[in-house]
């Protein structure tokens, strides 16, 4: 029995050190129970650690990305972000401009003008300064027409500025508007691209109520131009002349007095007077040219010998001619008188025959040259009452 008590402990029955429990030995016991070499266990542990770290990093990145996307999604819903400069540059610029809102005033350019109201004379003084960024798809020859709603048909036209989208006008015009009518009066400014002998292309418009004008201060600022309204009928102008016929001597006298309302930019306007008998050109005269004006004054007389027996076969054509941008004279408009005329020209011709030896003067609106030429080719003559018949 003493030997059994004094026998040293074997490896199968180890003694735990004092002050400890059996738990600290659990992990070593588990590792000892795995039939793998130690280096393999170390590799597995490292791989597991790397996998756990990777999963944590992915989770962190996903949470951060989701947190950033939330405000962007909210901005994408609003219409304001679609108009930001960043969005505009990311989209194709040309397509974005073409598909933009046609009512956007920024696409039609700007106009700088000043407004002043004189209480004493009850006049609105409009100072046209300049325009910028006009929309024309290239170069243009812009000019401006100015008017007020209370005076239809009365307005001011500026000079034509060649080959620019930023014309500098520096012109002033005045309109008589009683103070009582000022709150319901609107200033109209229409910018057009001058096209000689063609329909002028509108570039933009401004409609400005004058009720907001301070009578005691001069208002000067930039305004955004809006899209052009319905196309106005192109104004070709008017011509004033007198007719006088003496049956006994067969003398037909035409006095070309003046023209007005011609398109701006026409160089050196003049008037051709052409007399035809039985649709054949007989006599042709013309006035001298006038420079730098849309309202030329001529006061030149021309006399034609027309026998009394041929007066019913006469066609009298007065045409305003001018030089355009191509430096070639072309007709601006014509007036036809005689037995194949109509309207006011026919009445003027009839008055001349009814009041022999007395000059009869009238204003006539110019008609397109092609229209008058077609009338001469197609319309039959009328039999007008002659003096003494």
Q: What is the pLDDT of residues 13-40, one digit of tens each?
A: 444 444 444 445 555 665 666 677 777 7
As a whole number, mean pLDDT of residues 137-150 equals: 86
Beta bridge partners of 148: 187
pLDDT value for 31: 62
Q: How confident is the model at residue 195 (pLDDT cuts 50, 70, 90)?
A: confident
What gap in Å lies between CA 19 and CA 21, rounded to an integer? 7
How far out from the chain centre does Cα 345 lie?
Answer: 37
CB 98 within 8 A of CB 135: no
Residue with tokens 């066609």: 315
As a whole number, mean pLDDT of residues 328-332 equals: 82
pLDDT value for 389: 57
pLDDT value for 279: 75
Which helix H or strand E contains 288, and what residues bound it? none
Residue 286: partners with Cβ closer than 8 Å, 6 or more residues away: 270, 271, 272, 273, 321
Beta bridge partners of 113: 128, 221
Q: How confident is the model at residue 3 (pLDDT cuts 50, 70, 90)?
A: very low
CB 330 within 8 A of CB 324: yes
Token pair, residue 325, equals 């941008």
How far out from the chain centre does Cα 107 lie?
Answer: 8
Q: Is 175 helix (H, G, I), strand (E, B) or coil?
A: strand
The pLDDT of residue 343 is above 50: yes
Closest alpha carbon to 124 in 178, 180, 189: 178
Residues 301-312: b if buried by 16+ CB within 10 A, e if exposed = bbebebeeeebe
Token pair, residue 23, equals 């738990």
Angle at 291 between CA 302 and CA 173, to 5 degrees: 115
Please give the residue that has the higher pLDDT: either 281 or 2: 281
The pLDDT of residue 1 is above 60: no
Q: What is the pLDDT of residues 43-61, one digit of tens each?
A: 777 888 888 887 787 777 6
The pLDDT of residue 291 is above 80: yes
| H helices present in the chain, as ranges | 2-6, 26-33, 38-77, 85-90, 93-98, 343-354, 369-378
First to last CA, the chain: 180
Question: CB-based burial of residue 140 (10 Å sphere; 0-12 exposed, 13-18 middle, 19+ buried)?
Answer: buried
Q: How confident is the model at residue 154 (pLDDT cuts 50, 70, 90)?
A: low
Please give the residue that has the higher pLDDT: either 221 or 381: 221
The pTM of this model reads: 0.44
Beta bridge partners of 204: 191
What percent of the chain clears pLDDT 70, i.e. is strictly above it? 71
What gap in Å lies between CA 367 and CA 196, rounded to an integer? 15
pLDDT value for 354: 92
As a whole number, mean pLDDT of residues 300-329 equals: 87
């Amino acid at each position: 029995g003493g030997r059994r008590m004094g026998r040293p402990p074997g490896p199968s029955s180890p003694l735990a050190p004092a002050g400890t429990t059996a738990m600290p030995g659990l992990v070593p016991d588990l590792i000892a129970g795995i039939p793998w070499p130690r280096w393999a266990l170390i590799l597995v542990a490292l791989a597991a650690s790397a996998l756990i770290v990777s999963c944590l990093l992915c989770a962190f990145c996903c949470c951060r990305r989701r947190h950033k996307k939330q405000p962007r999604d909210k901005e994408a819903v609003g219409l304001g972000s679609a108009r930001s400069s960043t969005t505009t540059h990311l989209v194709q610029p040309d397509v974005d401009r073409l598909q933009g809102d046609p009512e956007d005033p920024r696409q039609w350019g700007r106009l700088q003008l000043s407004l002043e109201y004189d209480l004493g004379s009850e006049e609105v003084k409009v100072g046209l300064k300049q325009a910028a960024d006009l929309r024309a798809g290239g170069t243009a020859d812009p000019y401006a027409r100015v008017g007020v709603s209370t005076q239809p048909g009365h307005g001011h036209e500026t000079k034509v500025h060649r080959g620019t989208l930023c014309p500098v006008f520096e012109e002033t015009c005045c309109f008589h508007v009683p103070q009582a009518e000022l709150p319901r009066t609107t200033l109209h400014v229409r910018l057009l691209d001058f096209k000689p002998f063609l329909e002028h292309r509108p570039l933009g418009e401004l409609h400005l109520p004058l009720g907001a004008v301070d009578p005691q201060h001069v208002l000067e600022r930039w305004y955004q131009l809006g899209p052009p309204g319905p196309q106005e009928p192109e104004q070709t102008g008017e011509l004033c002349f007198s007719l006088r016929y003496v049956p006994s001597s067969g003398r037909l006298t035409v006095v070309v007095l003046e023209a007005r309302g011609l398109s701006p930019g026409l160089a050196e306007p003049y008037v051709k007077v052409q007399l035809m008998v039985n649709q054949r050109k007989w006599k042709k005269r013309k006035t001298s040219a006038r420079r730098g004006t849309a309202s030329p004054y001529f006061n030149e007389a021309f006399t034609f010998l027309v026998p009394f027996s041929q007066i019913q076969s006469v066609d009298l054509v007065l045409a305003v001619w001018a030089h355009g941008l191509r430096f070639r004279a072309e007709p601006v408009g014509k007036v036809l008188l005689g037995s194949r005329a109509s309207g006011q020209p026919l009445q003027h011709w009839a008055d001349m025959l009814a009041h022999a030896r007395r000059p009869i003067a009238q204003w006539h609106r110019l008609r397109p040259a092609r229209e008058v030429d077609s009338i001469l080719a197609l319309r039959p003559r009328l039999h007008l009452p002659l003096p003494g018949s």
